[in-house]
Structure 1
Amino acid sequence: MVQTGFGRTGSHFWGFQGHDVIPDMVTMAKGIGNGFPMGAVVTSPEIAASFTNGVHFNTFAGNPVASAVASAVLDTIIEDGTQKNSLDVGTYLMTELAKLRDKYEIIGDVRGKGLQIGVEMIKDKVLSVRQK
């Protein structure tokens, strides 16, 4: 699974938590570094142990500065309440986008959680509903 934002769904810190699944591995990059070149992988101890026998490399290789940045980003997300902001702003945005969906034929569906929102753009609303 790829983590695209921390707390962005508004209800959970990790996106997968809203789907009652636990992935074997989660990869992340931009969200954990807030623009700083940072990447991370979270997995179980058993899977992590399997990486000790091979040669692994990446373009963002871990270092103390990158770790400090990631830690500060995670602290800021919690301290600034951005997860609740995602819930509040996302709820408002979903409501307003639903109004636009009802008004304009080009919008087929609006769905999402928090600020993880998708808007379906269509040519024919009747055909789109039949295909679902």
Structure 2
Amino acid sequence: MNLRTLTVIAAGGVLGALTRYGLNTVWPHPEGGFPWATWLINVSGCLVIGGVSVLVPTPRRLRLFLGTGFLGGYTTFSTAMTDVVVSPTVIGFAYLFATVAGALLAVWTGSSLARRVRR
């Protein structure tokens, strides 16, 4: 991997992480409450990655910037799993299920919509 490729991925990662931080700052969740911002971030990131995977050919830098960089920094599945461990209650298990189901459905939806757009 060359320096330009690493720079493209890093720039996307910084922007994605800043976007995630901003959304979590604007929409914090109370301790023990459902972390809606984190859920929305992960599901919307999956929706976009579904579309990117269909519409942007590999290994173009745009795909690396968006898919690996921005969406890698934007989505936060490690935080999602930490929220589940910290809240091992009905809310925690509901959040775990909603995250996995929402993410899978979002990837499918994003790729399906992108295929329609491409036709």
Return the TM-score normalized by structure 2. Answer: 0.29
Larger % of strand: which?
A: 1
Greater helix share, 1 or 2? 2
TM-score after normalising by structure 1? 0.27
Q: Which has the higher contact order (CA 8 A, sep 6+)?
A: 2
